[in-house]
Structure 1
Amino acid sequence: MRKFSLYMASICLLFGCEETIDVELKDAPPAYVVDAWINDKMETQVIQLSLTQPYFDSSEPTPITGATVTVTSEGKTFSFTESQSGSYTWDPATSTDRIETVGSRYTLTVNVDGNEFMAESELRRVPPVDSIKFTFKEERNAFQPEGYYAEFLATDPVGPGDTYWIKAIKNGIPLNNPFDLNIAYDAGFNEGGNIDGVVFIQPIQDAVTPLNEDLDEIVPYKLGDSLHVEIHSITHEAFTFLQQVQIQTQRDGGFDEIFAEPLENVSSNIMMMNENPDVQVIGFFNVSSVSGRGRKLTE
Structure 2
Amino acid sequence: MKKFSLYIVFISFLFACEETIDVDLKDAPPAYVVDAWINDKMETQVIRLTLTQPYFDAGEYESVTGANITVTSENKTFEFIETDPGYYEWNPVTSADRIETIGSRYQLNVNVDGEQFFAESELRRVPPVDSIKYTYKEERNQFQPEGYYGEFLATDPVGSGDTYWIKAYKNGELLNNPFDLNIAYDAGFNEGGNIDGVVFIQPIQDAVTPLNEDLDEIVPYVPGDSLHVEIHSVTHEAFAFLQQVQIQTQRDGGFDEIFAEPLENVSSNIIKQNTTSNVQVIGFFNVSAVSGRGRKLVE
Please give the range of the TM-score, normalised by the shorter of the 2 chains. over 0.9
SS in 2 for 1:243: helix
Alignment of 1:97-136 (within 5 A): 97-136=97-136
Task: Report the equivalent of 2:236.
Answer: 236
Report the Cα offset of residue 24 of structure 1. 1.5
Q: Which runs of 5+ in 1 are unaligned?
A: 1-9
Q: 1:217 to 1:262 in 2, by over 3 A?
A: same
In the alignment of these two chains, the number of paired residues is: 290
Q: Does 1:260 align with 2:260?
A: yes
Report the TM-score when normalising by structure 2. 0.95
Report the Cα offset of residue 18 of structure 1. 2.9
Task: Report the equivalent of 2:289.
Answer: 289
SS in 2 for 1:274: coil
Report the Cα offset of residue 277 of structure 1. 3.4
Alignment RMSD (CA, Å): 1.4
Task: Report the equivalent of 1:43.
Answer: 43
Aligned equivalents of 1:145 and 1:13: distance in 2? 36
Q: Which runs of 4+ in 1 moved over 3 A?
A: 10-13
Q: Does 1:74 align with 2:74?
A: yes
Q: Does 1:27 align with 2:38?
A: no
Report the Cα offset of residue 98 of structure 1. 1.9
Q: Does 1:164 align with 2:164?
A: yes
Aligned equivalents of 2:56 and 2:254: distance in 1? 19
Aligned equivalents of 1:272 and 1:15: distance in 2? 47
Q: Which runs of 5+ in 2 are unaligned?
A: 1-9
Task: Report the equivalent of 1:251.
Answer: 251
Tell me the amino acid that sits aligned with residue 115 of structure 2. Answer: N
Tell me if the contact between 2:167 and 2:182 (Cα under 8 Å) persists in the aligned partners.
yes
Tell me the amino acid that sits aligned with residue 202 of structure 2. Answer: Q
Q: Name which of structure 1's ranges 94-103 and 244-253 shifts more when overlaid on structure 2.
A: 94-103
Tell me the amino acid that sits aligned with residue 197 of structure 1. Answer: G
Aligned equivalents of 1:83 and 1:181: distance in 2? 28
Q: Deviations over 1:248-276 (max 9, x none)?
A: 00000000001100000000000001134
Aligned equivalents of 1:60 and 1:219: distance in 2? 29
Tell me the amino acid that sits aligned with residue 218 of structure 2. Answer: I
Report the Cα offset of residue 17 of structure 1. 2.9
How many percent identity over aligned positions? 82
Q: Name which of structure 1's ranges 96-105 and 76-85 shifts more when overlaid on structure 2.
A: 96-105
Aligned equivalents of 1:223 and 1:267: distance in 2? 42
Report the Cα offset of residue 94 of structure 1. 6.7
Aligned equivalents of 2:237 and 2:15: distance in 1? 44
Aligned equivalents of 2:125 and 2:15: distance in 1? 54
Aligned equivalents of 2:258 and 2:286: distance in 1? 34
SS in 2 for 1:264: coil
Report the Cα offset of residue 161 of structure 1. 0.1
Aligned equivalents of 1:138 and 1:20: distance in 2? 44
Tell me if the contact between 2:32 and 2:52 (Cα under 8 Å) persists in the aligned partners.
yes
SS in 2 for 1:183: strand
Aligned equivalents of 2:215 and 2:44: distance in 1? 32
Q: 1:95 to 1:276 in 2, by over 3 A?
A: farther
Tell me if the contact between 1:50 and 1:86 (Cα under 8 Å) persists in the aligned partners.
yes
Report the TM-score when normalising by structure 1. 0.95
Tell me if the contact between 1:39 and 1:45 (Cα under 8 Å) persists in the aligned partners.
yes
Aligned equivalents of 1:200 and 1:39: distance in 2? 22
Tell me the amino acid that sits aligned with residue 214 of structure 2. Answer: D
SS in 2 for 1:41: coil
